[in-house]
Amino acid sequence: MRLLTSAAAIAAAILLPVSANAADAPVQVTLDASKPGAVIDRHIFGQFAEHLGSGIYGGIWVGKDSTIPNTRGIRNDVVAALKELKVPDVRWPGGCFADEYNWRRGVGPERKAAVNSNWGGVVEPNTFGTDEFMDFAQQVGTEAYVSVNLGSGTAQEAAEWLEYMTSSTDDAMGAERAKNGHAAPYKVAILGLGNESWDCGGGMSPDFYVSEMKRFSRFLHNYNPAQPMKRVAVGPNGADTSYTDAVMKAWKGHTWAWDIEGLSLHSYSTGGWPPHLPGTGFDEKDYAVLLKESIGMDDLVKTHSAIMDKYDPEKKVALVVDEWGAWLAPTPGSNPGFLVQQNSQRDAVLAALNINIFARHADRVRMANIAQMINVLQAMILTDKDKMLLTPTYHVFHMYVPFQDATSLPVAFDAGTYTAGGVTLPRVDAIAAKDKAGKVWIAVTNIDAKQPATFSIALGGVKATKASGQTLSAPKIDSVNTFDAPNTVAPKAISAKIANGKLSVTVAPASVTVLGLEP
């Protein structure tokens, strides 16, 4: 076993070549609370809601006259479930949708319909627009991450949108907002300067994008002093470093006239393109294939961070992984343009592994947004008319709430290996952190789909007599929650013994567990 102490070495532990643990031997973990690392920004638990399929209409918005219980048209059940997650921010209105969005059609008493050319060519009624999104954000208690149209729109249109959202009523745009029923300026915490400009956002070369981005950064003003606003530039598509290099190089030479606080990274776990891995009914090989690809996120973060370090050694610009998650084959019978997929225990493990990667790189990865929040891709919540269910991924986000804004603590362990269908990946994963109240939390993931895992965690001087928390496992790796059986995959209480400064816990195959240490 390797005992690593520096934060960087700990970050690498899971991916270093390691000797295989015998599946029945305890995984020896060493916690070092004396060397706290970076704060795990709560914004790595961000969400993404695009006008796509029933991500908005049906998922959030049902309209004021709906028989589904709602507050000003927004589903009460969905808001209540999201509040439990303490969602730090929601990215809206897209995605590819954002770069064709005309915000003017979505405000005021007369909404103007459009065609959603990106997602199924369906009618976009624009009944859920800026004021409804801000109302939703307020009901959930989350921050607004608004992505402006840099692709097909002008800087002036985007500037006026920001003016509409953030100015006082002395300004004509602020007065228009007041006329629409909202006198107080909204808070825009994060502004996205385009989306995937290398592809659906306009197929721009890195240099062309940089020129456009500078103009948008220069002319889009936040007029609400109550809310500092961070700007996120379009960054890399997966492993391609051309945008990373161009944007960061430009940033290094930036003047007073423009600035950014974040660089976006998009990377989905797909198992090949176009996505073809099924959401249910898959075998252990497909389980391993998708998870192996997904932990490649660690390499991506390292690759882009190294370039960012070159231009920004003080880490002023955050790496913002604002689209990540599993992108699977569409559920049979669904509209392929709606990106509907089921969410299994495999997705729960995938979510935990990615959150752990972000947490290990907390000094640079300070925001992330899983795609997407409701009814689309790796969703937290699925709805069908008046019914709603919480997915296994939702449960992981809920279990990880204590890690929001907690300070990471190094853990060293030998991950061992797990092989299925010829695919080899680490057998386990673990992270630890101390919350603001001083309580230490440990998250362990058993990737092995067949064997349980016992963790023996040396607490390194942290005084605790017991540990308790929740564990998420399932009858099968492809177990899902359905509207008829919504609790097939649900967390259960778990407690662990602590003796002689060591915590010992045995967890199920393919499971995620979060434990808090107690005096």
Among the options 124, 196, 284, 293, which is catalytic? Answer: 196
For ligand AHR, how many residues bind (rule: CB under 6 A)?
Answer: 11
CA atoms of 10 and 38, how far apart (whole Å):
13
Closest approach of ligand AHR to the CB of residue 322, in Å? 9
Q: Are 225 and 159 in contact (CB under 8 A)?
A: no
Q: Is 143 a catalytic residue?
A: no
Number of other residues whose CB lies within 10 A of the CB of residue 353? 23
Q: Which two tokens stand for residue 49?
A: 């809601």
Residue 195 in contact with ligand AHR, rule: CB under 6 A: yes
Q: In the set 94, 174, 185, 271, which binds ligand AHR (CB under 6 A)?
A: 94
CA atoms of 315 and 310, how far apart (whole Å):
10
Closest approach of ligand AHR to the CB of residue 179, in Å? 32
Residue 196 in contact with ligand AHR, rule: CB under 6 A: yes
DSSP assignment of 124-183 equals: E---S-HHHHHHHHHHHT-EEEEEE--SSS-HHHHHHHHHHHH--TTSHHHHHHHHTT--
Q: Which of 456, 457, 450 is nearest to 23 (CA)?
A: 450
Residue 323 in contact with ligand AHR, rule: CB under 6 A: yes
Q: In the set 56, 82, 96, 134, which binds ligand AHR (CB under 6 A)?
A: 96
Closest approach of ligand AHR to the CB of residue 377, in Å? 6
Selected range binding ligand AHR among 91-99, 202-210, 328-336, 382-390, rule: CB under 6 A: 91-99
CA atoms of 7 and 34, how far apart (whole Å):
12
Report the run of H or E that residue 311 belongs to, with start and end: helix 297-311
Q: Is 50 a catalytic residue?
A: no
DSSP assignment of 335-399 equals: -GGG-----BHHHHHHHHHHHHHHHHTTTTEEEEEEE-SBSSSS-SEEEETTEEEE-HHHHHHHH
Q: Are 137 and 128 in contact (CB under 8 A)?
A: no
- Nearest CB to ligand AHR, comparing residues 96 and 399: 96
Among residue numbers 168 through 187, which ones bind ligand AHR (CB under 6 A)?
none
CA pseudo-torsion sign 75, 76, 82, 86: positive
Residue 371 in contact with ligand AHR, rule: CB under 6 A: yes
Residue 509 in contact with ligand AHR, rule: CB under 6 A: no
Q: Are 201 and 323 in contact (CB under 8 A)?
A: no
- Nearest CB to ligand AHR, comparing residues 96 and 321: 96
- Nearest CB to ligand AHR, comparing residues 41 and 50: 50
- Nearest CB to ligand AHR, comparing residues 50 and 363: 50
Residue 194 in contact with ligand AHR, rule: CB under 6 A: no
Classify the phi-psi angles of 407: left when phi > 0, otherwise alpha if psi is within -120 to 50, otherwise beta: beta
Selected range binding ligand AHR among 21-29, 163-171, 371-379, 396-404, rule: CB under 6 A: 371-379
Residue 322 in contact with ligand AHR, rule: CB under 6 A: no
Among residue numbers 42 through 81, which ones bind ligand AHR (CB under 6 A)?
50
- Nearest CB to ligand AHR, comparing residues 90 and 362: 90
Closest approach of ligand AHR to the CB of residue 59, in Å? 14
Among the options 124, 143, 160, 323, which is catalytic? Answer: 323
Cβ-based neighbours of 444, under 8 Å, separated by 6 or more: 29, 428, 429, 430, 453, 455, 505, 507, 512, 513, 515
E strands within 11-119? 27-31, 46-48, 70-71, 74-75, 89-92, 114-116
Selected range binding ligand AHR among 92-100, 120-128, 209-217, 460-468, rule: CB under 6 A: 92-100
Closest approach of ligand AHR to the CB of residue 97, in Å? 6
CA atoms of 126 and 437, how far apart (whole Å):
44
Residue 95 in contact with ligand AHR, rule: CB under 6 A: yes
Residue 363 in contact with ligand AHR, rule: CB under 6 A: no
Selected range binding ligand AHR among 252-260, 370-378, 399-407, 426-434, rule: CB under 6 A: 370-378
Closest approach of ligand AHR to the CB of residue 313, in Å? 30
Selected range binding ligand AHR among 56-64, 90-98, 248-256, 494-502, rule: CB under 6 A: 90-98
Q: Which of 134, 121, 126 is nearest to 103 (CA)?
A: 126
Contact residues for ligand AHR, defined by CB under 6 A: 50, 94-96, 195-196, 200, 323, 371-372, 377
Q: Enumerate the active-site residues.
A: 196, 323
